[in-house]
Chains A and B, each alone.
Chain A
Amino acid sequence: MARKTPVRGQMAVLHPMRIRADALPLADRMFNLWTLTALMLAFAAVLIAPAFAQDAAPEKPGVISILLEWTPTLAKGFGFNVLISILSMAIGTAMGVVLGVLQVSPLRPVRSIAWLVTQFFRNSPWLVLLFYCILLIPFQIEVFGTTIPFPGWIKAVLGLSLPVMAYMSEYMRGAILSIPTGQWESAESLGFSRRQIMTDVILPQTVKRVLPSWMNLYAVLTMATPLVSIIGVNDVMALTRAALSAEGRVDLLIPMYLYILSWFFIYCYPISAVTRLLERKYSVKL
Chain B
Amino acid sequence: MTWTPDQPIVSLRDVHKSFGTVEVLRGITLDVMKGEVICIIGPSGSGKSTLIRCINALNDIQSGSITVEGLEVNDPKLDKLSLRKKVGMVFQQYNLFPHKTVLQNVMMAPIKVLRQNRAEVEARARKLIAKVRLEGKEDAYPGELSGGQQQRVAIARSLAMNPDVMLFDEVTAALDPETVKEVLTTIKDLAADGMTCILVTHEMGFAREIADCVYFTDRGVIVESGPPATFFDNAQDPRTQQFLSQIL
User: What is the 8 Å Cβ interface bit string for chain B, positions 98-110, against chain A (1 contact, 0 not)?
Assistant: 1100000000110
Is A205 a contact of B98 with CB atoms below 8 Å? yes
Near B by CB (< 8 A), chain A positions 226-264 give: none
Place the interface of chain A in its size category: 10 to 19
Write the nearest CB–CB distance from A193 to chain B, whole angstroms: 8
Q: Are A185 and B91 also in contact (CB < 8 A) when A191-B109, A196-B113 are?
A: yes
User: What is the 8 Å Cβ interface bit string for chain B, positions 56-99, against chain A (1 contact, 0 not)?
Assistant: 10100000000000000000000011001101110101011111
Is B143 a contact of A191 with CB atoms below 8 Å? no
Cβ–Cβ < 8 Å partners of B154 in chain A? 186
Q: In this assembly, does A189 line the interface, its C-beta being within 8 Å of a C-beta of chain B?
A: yes
* B157 contact from A185, A190, A204, Cβ within 8 A: A190
Is A189 a contact of B99 with CB atoms below 8 Å? no
* B99 contact from A180, A187, A193, A204, Cβ within 8 A: A204
- Chain B interface residue count, Cβ-Cβ cutoff 8 angstroms: 26
Cβ–Cβ < 8 Å partners of A204 in chain B? 99
Question: Which chain A residue has the least Cβ–Cβ distance from B56?
Answer: A189
Q: In this assembly, does A55 line the interface, its C-beta being within 8 Å of a C-beta of chain B?
A: no
Q: In this assembly, does B196 line the interface, its C-beta being within 8 Å of a C-beta of chain A?
A: no
Q: Are A189 and B58 also in contact (CB < 8 A) when A182-B91, A182-B95, A201-B97 are?
A: yes
Is B95 a contact of A186 with CB atoms below 8 Å? yes
Cβ–Cβ < 8 Å partners of A183 in chain B? 95, 97
Near B by CB (< 8 A), chain A positions 153-203 give: 180, 182-183, 185-193, 196, 200-201
Q: Are A190 and B84 also in contact (CB < 8 A) when A201-B97, A205-B99 are?
A: yes
Q: In this assembly, does A18 line the interface, its C-beta being within 8 Å of a C-beta of chain B?
A: no
Write the nearest CB–CB distance from B121 to chain A, whole angstroms: 13
Cβ–Cβ < 8 Å partners of A182 in chain B? 91, 93, 95
Write the nearest CB–CB distance from A198 to chain B, whole angstroms: 12
Q: In this assembly, does B198 line the interface, its C-beta being within 8 Å of a C-beta of chain A?
A: no
User: What is the 8 Å Cβ interface bit string for chain A, positions 106-130, against chain B (1 contact, 0 not)?
Assistant: 0000000000000000000000000
Write the nearest CB–CB distance from A105 to chain B, whole angstroms: 18
Q: In this assembly, does A60 line the interface, its C-beta being within 8 Å of a C-beta of chain B?
A: no
Is A188 a contact of B112 with CB atoms below 8 Å? no
Is A191 a contact of B81 with CB atoms below 8 Å? yes
Question: Which chain A residue has the least Cβ–Cβ distance from B81?
Answer: A191
Q: In this assembly, does B15 line the interface, its C-beta being within 8 Å of a C-beta of chain A?
A: no
Most chain B CB within 10 A, of A182, A186, A188, A200, is at A186
Cβ–Cβ < 8 Å partners of A3 in chain B? none
Is A190 a contact of B161 with CB atoms below 8 Å? yes
User: What is the 8 Å Cβ interface bit string for chain A, positions 258-286, against chain B (1 contact, 0 not)?
Assistant: 00000000000000000000000000010
Q: Are A192 and B113 also in contact (CB < 8 A) when A183-B97, A200-B108, A205-B99 are?
A: yes
Write the nearest CB–CB distance from B198 to chain A, whole angstroms: 13
Write the nearest CB–CB distance from A238 to chain B, whole angstroms: 44
User: What is the 8 Å Cβ interface bit string for chain B, positions 146-185, against chain A (1 contact, 0 not)?
Assistant: 0000000010011001000000000000000000000000
Is A189 a contact of B84 with CB atoms below 8 Å? yes
* A285 contact from B87, B96, B112, B143, Cβ within 8 A: B143
* A188 contact from B58, B99, B108, Cβ within 8 A: B58
Bound Cα distance A180, B93 (Å): 10
Cβ–Cβ < 8 Å partners of A185 in chain B? 58, 91, 95
Cβ–Cβ < 8 Å partners of B98 in chain A? 205
Cβ–Cβ < 8 Å partners of A196 in chain B? 112-113
Bound Cα distance A2, B114 (Å): 62
Bound Cα distance A149, B96 (Å): 51
Bound Cα distance A180, B94 (Å): 12
Bound Cα distance A104, B58 (Å): 19
Bound Cα distance A193, B81 (Å): 8
Bound Cα distance A52, B97 (Å): 65
Most chain A CB within 10 A, of B81, B91, B113, B157, is at B113
Question: Which chain A residue has the least Cβ–Cβ distance from B58?
Answer: A185
Is B89 a contact of A189 with CB atoms below 8 Å? yes
Q: Are A191 and B91 also in contact (CB < 8 A) when A185-B58, A200-B108 are?
A: no
Cβ–Cβ < 8 Å partners of A192 in chain B? 109, 112-113
Sample of 17 further A-B pairs with CB below 8 A, known A188-B84, A189-B89, A191-B84: A180-B93, A182-B91, A183-B95, A185-B95, A186-B91, A186-B97, A186-B154, A187-B97, A188-B58, A189-B84, A189-B158, A190-B108, A190-B158, A190-B161, A196-B113, A200-B108, A285-B143
What would be 27 A-B contacts, judged by CB atoms less than 8 Å apart?
A182-B91, A182-B93, A182-B95, A183-B97, A185-B58, A185-B91, A185-B95, A186-B91, A186-B95, A186-B97, A186-B154, A188-B80, A189-B56, A189-B84, A189-B87, A189-B89, A190-B84, A190-B108, A190-B109, A190-B157, A190-B158, A191-B85, A191-B114, A191-B161, A192-B113, A205-B97, A205-B99
* Interface pairs A-B: 3 shortest CB-CB: A186-B95, A191-B84, A182-B95
